[in-house]
Amino acid sequence: MDRAVEKMATNLRKGVLEYCVLALLDQREMYGLEIANELMERELSASEGSLYPLLARMKQAGSVDARWEAGDGTRSRKYYAITEHGRHQLASFREVWRGIQQQVDGLLGGHHV
């Protein structure tokens, strides 16, 4: 992929990353590295470095809750869970995303929606 295309993809991913995290947490609680791995597997994030500041902002905004849990002979892990506020944000995003997707698909397909 050339640089311009990669930059475009990165910008699109950044714009939806928060909502992708909420969608993952809507399925189940996850710890930070687990979220990062899921996002990297889906090619939605390239690094953990951008995830942890995002999770901190999401916690401060009330979209997620966090709790520490001791592991079996391993270090403690910080688990994240979606809040009711986060669920409302995710529902709103789904609605907005569907509308934007239809409009963009219509433009890219060469016909009006």
- List, for residues 41-72, the tens digit of each pLDDT value: 998 986 778 899 999 999 999 999 999 998 77
Q: With CA atoms as reference, report the closest residue to 98 among 113, 83, 109.
A: 113
Task: Look at 50 and 85; give whichever has higher pLDDT.
Answer: 85
Across the chain, mean pLDDT equals 91
Find all residues with CB under 8 Å of 89, minimum gap 6, and list them.
19, 22, 63
Find all residues with CB under 8 Å of 36, minimum gap 6, and list them.
45, 47, 48, 51
CA distances to 78, 91, 105 from 22, rounded to whole Å, are: 16, 10, 24
Q: What is the mean pLDDT of residues 4-21?
A: 92
Residue 73 belongs to a domain: yes
- List, for residues 35-44, the tens digit of each pLDDT value: 999 999 998 9
Q: Residue 26: its pLDDT value, please? A: 98
Task: Look at 74 and 23; give whichever has higher pLDDT.
Answer: 23
Residue 41 belongs to a domain: yes
Domain limits at 60?
A: 3-108
Task: Look at 85 and 45; give whichever has higher pLDDT.
Answer: 85
Residue 60's CATH number: 1.10.10.10
Residue 103 belongs to a domain: yes
Structural domains in the chain (count): 1
